[in-house]
Structure 1
């Protein structure tokens, strides 16, 4: 059995590294991709969705459309061996950017839908 480390990294009540199941680990990896800035990882300079930076950018439907295109491409490139993205929607309302991702886990075939929101 493989131990999956929980993200963000933290300790449990026993003062050991917190672990999680495979499904939640994959969700954590998707979140890491979304929040990592391109150029932040030394050996993978083009890894990351850069969503955290967009908290300070003007929110608009055009930004949401461009982000939707780049996130789909990035998820396919970096996580395509783990997940198959079936639907990805980025919406911009008032000061909130919402990302809804539906995907299938390649290892188990399970379908998941996760929502990530960033407010300005």
Structure 2
């Protein structure tokens, strides 16, 4: 990422000064991963195939086959849309009852910084 670029924070909100909140590069990349994971394909007008659609998967029946399919889908989406920013080193998807947990370990290409982040959604 370029230091001259201002990254808007996600979800969009205002800072204490009443301006649109911004964030650093590391948090911005994490935000991009989150947006990719939880955006349903078809939600973005100019990118109809963007997104992994994981929120819909929270309602699917839990099984090892579902977790394996999600892992493949997520890996493909991350590779397609964010491979210029990150190198995925580990991806783990687990689904227990109504909770979906995704652990992503990645390396930020520009800085070579290693990061691990967990995303979790529940219907409760």
Secondary structure of the structure 2 residue equivalent to 1:65: helix
Residue in 1 that maps onto 2:43: 40
Gaps of 5+ in 1: none
For 1:1-120, list aligned pairs within 5 A: 1-120=4-123
Q: Distance in 2 between matches of 1:94 and 1:61?
A: 13
Superposed CA offset, 1:58-96 (max 9, x none): 222221110000100110000000000001010122332
Q: Distance in 2 between matches of 1:2 and 1:78?
A: 19
Contact 1:83 1:103 (C-alpha < 8 Å) held by counterparts: yes
Q: Deviation above 6 Å: which 4+ runs of structure 1?
A: none
Secondary structure of the structure 2 residue equivalent to 1:16: coil
What is the TM-score with the length of structure 2 in the denominator? Answer: 0.92
Secondary structure of the structure 1 residue equivalent to 2:35: helix
Gaps of 5+ in 2: none
Q: CA RMSD in A?
A: 1.1
Q: Distance in 1 between matches of 2:38 and 2:83?
A: 18
Q: How many residues are paired up?
A: 120
